[in-house]
């Protein structure tokens, strides 16, 4: 039977039961903590309505208060707790009781068993409520604190699930051992029919010793042996109706397809059931990041830059300058395997933020997001993507295209300042500019220039994409771009906070479904922490000794700004002096020094 309370009404000032329970001093401390924000703004918007359909309204034993239970799951990720620690905090922590609005100390209200915690978390994960919870909290905080979402920044951060990093031999051995263990448990006759030596290699207590004693130089031979064992097991149960449907068998098939190749004596591919076939492990350079990293977490991917695991895409609001006081709010988050490229995450992030009413007008992102296709797609959604172009701007001895002055429709001038005598549209939206022979024929850059000689002059043929990239590279040289793009680096602080404070870097779970659930809830709590800090700065700017924090910070920032200005002026004057000294003839310099 459903049991919920109305947390939207709140309490009349002075009649909050926690005033009597705790006293005014400790109650005031609660008002300045995250618990007050959680109780007043977060608890009422939790998506409890979406799980009510799974409970009866008038039959059965009453549930635990659903808002408090769902809030406890969020607080578990907020403080990075185990299930046992969560149950303990729910039972005895007064700050949790205040945040979850638990006003009674009996077992019905202030106690929850682990099974209830597991059931609620599984239900939320199955229904995908982590997305609804994240968006409900983000939307509420954006409304309460009037967050400006016009300027945002985006980045990804690597995270690891609760799995062991395995080498190739260990991966083969672990996968085979898991299958044999399940085969023995569910199909004893089929297990007994296998070769006894093969079973003993993978199922004995000290099974690692059968493969750990090989010298590093012999790892290739060991890998070939375990690949042959894998082929024998896959072929033996290929046509078995029940065993072939086991998840552990499917993992063996996937591992074999990804990392092994079956050939005959001539090197031609053959069927794996052919006993005369030769099995070889594929070279490491032929493996992709989508290959299975551990059978305990088959969804994890591999990034050559960061390793195995997952990647969390994060988009948050920001301000142009530190003087602009505002709440930095995470508006979008998504989890994907580590091998997925960042460029594919941009458009879905923009579309989802549009659907939730938190879309940006300008989006700062690093080079991996800034492909030309993403620039065009972002523009179609009304978003100005600010991102450096990929590749080096220096093209060696050849004159770079961005040195030509141009607009989106035509070429205005060459690097030497000469205008073309004609500029017409080319294929696929590009342009063709013709320069006079009299100008290009004797040009000092002729051997390195991009123009090519034609019948009536020298021609520069530029595609529409190349023109857009050249314009972006020219814009990247301006101070306006550099000052705006400098704000992108601030998102690294978000990644660091999430990993160091709430345990985002190493999770307690594995599998993409549960990893996504944990990540979305953890990033939700980042918004809660930030909103509470912003609330304190706005509503309580004074310290207990009566000093005004706001004015002190303003004075400190003004002092730092003035010091920066003076330092910049000093180095500018010093550079001018050095240039003047360098321009003086040597003999005159010696006489002046004398």
- Are 168 and 220 contacting, i.e. CB atoms less than 8 angstroms apart? no
Q: Which has the closest alpha carbon to 214: 165, 164, 166, 169?
A: 169
Q: How many CA atoms lie within 13 A of 71 on its CB side?
A: 30
Q: Does residue 419 register a pLDDT over 70? A: yes
Q: Does residue 592 register a pLDDT over 50? A: no
* 73 φ/ψ sector (left φ>0, alpha ψ -120 to 50, else beta): alpha
Tell me what pLDDT residue 160 has: 95
Q: Residue 225 burial (CB < 10 Å; 0-12/13-18/19+)?
A: middle
SS3 92: helix
Tell me what pLDDT residue 452 has: 87
Q: Does residue 551 register a pLDDT over 60? A: no
Q: Does residue 68 register a pLDDT over 80? A: yes
| Domain segments of the chain as ranges | 1-127, 129-162+303-388+476-540, 168-286, 401-475, 549-593
Q: What does 183-206 look like in DSSP terms, one character per residue?
A: HHHH-HHHHHTS-HHHHHHHHSTT
Q: Does residue 212 register a pLDDT over 60? A: no
Beta strands 362-365 and 151-159, pairing class: parallel
Tell me what pLDDT residue 467 has: 86
Lowest-pLDDT range of 101-115, 267-281, 457-471, 484-498 = 267-281
Better-predicted residue by pLDDT, 278 or 327 = 327
Q: Residue 430 burial (CB < 10 Å; 0-12/13-18/19+)?
A: middle
Confidence of residue 543 (pLDDT cuts 50, 70, 90): very low
Confidence of residue 9 (pLDDT cuts 50, 70, 90): confident
- Look at the domain 129-162+303-388+476-540 and name its fold: Nucleotidyltransferase; domain 5 (3.30.420)
Tell me what pLDDT residue 448 has: 85
- Are 387 and 410 contacting, i.e. CB atoms less than 8 angstroms apart? no
SS3 313: strand
In 3-state terms, the chain is what percent helix, strand and coil (to 5)?
55, 10, 35
Model pTM?
Answer: 0.84
Give the residue-averaged pLDDT of 526-534. Answer: 95
Confidence of residue 550 (pLDDT cuts 50, 70, 90): very low
Q: Does residue 552 register a pLDDT over 60? A: no
Task: Please give the Cα distance from 467 to 464 (Å, whole number).
Answer: 5
Q: Does residue 220 register a pLDDT over 50? A: yes
Q: What does 514-570 look like in DSSP terms, one character per residue?
A: HHHHHHHHHHHHHHHHHHHHHHHHHH--B-TTS-BHHHHHHHHHHHHHHHHHHHHHH
Q: What is the largest CA-CA distance in the chain?
A: 105
Sign of CA dihedral 553, 556, 562, 566: negative
pLDDT averaged over the chain?
86
Q: Does residue 545 register a pLDDT over 50? A: no
Better-predicted residue by pLDDT, 321 or 502 = 502
Give the residue-averaged pLDDT of 113-139. Answer: 95
CB atoms within 10 A of CB 515: 25
Task: Please give the Cα distance from 246 to 400 (Å, whole number).
Answer: 58
Q: Does residue 313 register a pLDDT over 50? A: yes
Helices and strands per DSSP (H, E), number in the chain: 24, 14
* Residue for token pair 């019905």: 108
Q: Which has the closest alpha carbon to 71: 105, 109, 104?
A: 109
Task: Please give the Cα distance from 302 to 287 (Å, whole number).
Answer: 10
Q: Does residue 393 register a pLDDT over 70? A: no
Task: Please give the Cα distance from 436 to 424 (Å, whole number).
Answer: 15
Task: Please give the Cα distance from 349 to 357 (Å, whole number).
Answer: 12
Task: Please give the Cα distance from 70 to 112 (Å, whole number).
Answer: 12
Give the residue-averaged pLDDT of 325-331. Answer: 90
Vertex 132, ends 126 and 133: CA angle to 5°? 100
Give the residue-averaged pLDDT of 281-310. Answer: 93
Confidence of residue 563 (pLDDT cuts 50, 70, 90): confident
Q: Does residue 591 register a pLDDT over 50? A: no
Long-range contacts (CB closer than 8 Å, 24 or more residues apart) made by 188-193: 190/237, 190/240, 190/243
Better-predicted residue by pLDDT, 464 or 531 = 531
Better-predicted residue by pLDDT, 403 or 323 = 403
- Are 158 and 313 contacting, i.e. CB atoms less than 8 angstroms apart? no
Confidence of residue 206 (pLDDT cuts 50, 70, 90): low
CB atoms within 10 A of CB 417: 8
């Amino acid at each position: 039977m459903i049991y919920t309370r109305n947390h939207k009404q709140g309490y009349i000032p002075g009649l909050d039961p926690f005033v009597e329970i705790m006293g005014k001093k400790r109650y005031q401390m609660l008002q300045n903590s995250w618990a007050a924000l959680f109780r007043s703004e977060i608890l009422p918007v939790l998506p409890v309505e979406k799980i009510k359909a799974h409970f009866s309204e008038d039959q059965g034993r009453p549930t635990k208060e659903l808002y408090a239970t769902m809030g406890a799951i969020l607080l578990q990720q907020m403080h990075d707790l185990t299930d046992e620690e969560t149950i303990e905090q729910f039972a005895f922590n007064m700050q949790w009781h205040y945040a979850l609005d638990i006003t009674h100390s009996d077992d019905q209200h202030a106690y929850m068993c682990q099974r209830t915690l597991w059931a609620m978390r599984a239900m939320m994960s199955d229904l995908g409520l982590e997305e609804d919870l994240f968006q409900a909290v983000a939307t509420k905080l954006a409304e309460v604190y009037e967050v400006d979402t016009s300027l945002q920044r985006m980045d990804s951060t690597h995270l690891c699930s609760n799995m062991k990093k395995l080498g190739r031999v260990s991966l083969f051995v672990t996968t085979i051992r898991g299958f044999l263990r399940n085969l023995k448990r569910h199909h004893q006759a089929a297990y007994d029919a296998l070769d006894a030596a093969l079973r003993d290699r993978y199922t004995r207590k000290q099974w690692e010793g059968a493969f750990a004693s090989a010298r590093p130089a012999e790892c290739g031979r060991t890998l070939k042996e375990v690949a042959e064992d894998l082929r024998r097991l896959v072929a033996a149960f290929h046509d078995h109706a029940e065993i072939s449907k086991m998840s552990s068998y499917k993992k063996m098939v996937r591992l074999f397809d990804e990392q092994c190749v079956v050939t005959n004596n001539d090197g031609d591919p053959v069927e794996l059931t052919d006993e005369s076939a030769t099995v070889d492990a594929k070279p490491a350079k032929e493996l992709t990041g989508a290959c299975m990293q551990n059978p305990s977490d088959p969804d994890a991917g591999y990034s050559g830059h960061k390793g195995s695991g997952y990647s969390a895409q994060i988009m948050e609001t920001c301000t142009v300058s530190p003087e602009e006081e505002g709440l930095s709010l995470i508006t979008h988050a998504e989890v994907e395997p580590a091998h997925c490229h960042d460029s594919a995450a941009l458009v879905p992030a923009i579309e989802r933020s549009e659907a939730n009413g938190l879309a940006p007008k300008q989006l700062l992102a690093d080079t991996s997001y800034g492909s030309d296709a993403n620039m065009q797609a972002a523009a179609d959604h009304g978003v100005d993507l600010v991102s450096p172009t990929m590749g080096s701007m220096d093209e060696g001895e050849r004159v770079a295209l961005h040195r030509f002055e141009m607009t989106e429709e035509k070429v205005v001038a060459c690097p030497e300042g000469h205008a073309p005598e004609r500029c017409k549209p080319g294929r696929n939206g590009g342009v063709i500019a013709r320069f006079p022979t009299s100008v290009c024929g004797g040009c000092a850059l002729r051997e390195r220039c991009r123009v090519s000689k034609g019948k009536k002059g020298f021609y520069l043929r530029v595609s529409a994409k190349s023109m857009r990239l050249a314009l972006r590279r020219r814009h990247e040289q301006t101070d306006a771009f550099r000052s705006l793009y400098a704000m992108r680096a601030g998102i690294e602080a978000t990644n660091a906070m999430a990993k160091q404070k709430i345990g985002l870097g190493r999770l307690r779970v594995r599998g993409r479904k549960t990893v996504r659930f944990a990540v979305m809830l953890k990033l939700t709590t980042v918004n809660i922490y930030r909103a509470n800090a912003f609330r304190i700065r706005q509503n309580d700017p004074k310290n207990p000794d009566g000093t005004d924090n706001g004015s002190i910070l303003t004075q400190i920032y003004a002092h730092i700004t003035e010091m920066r200005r003076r330092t910049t002026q000093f180095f500018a004057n010093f550079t001018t002096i050095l240039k003047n000294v360098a321009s003086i003839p040597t003999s005159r310099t010696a006489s002046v020094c004398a």
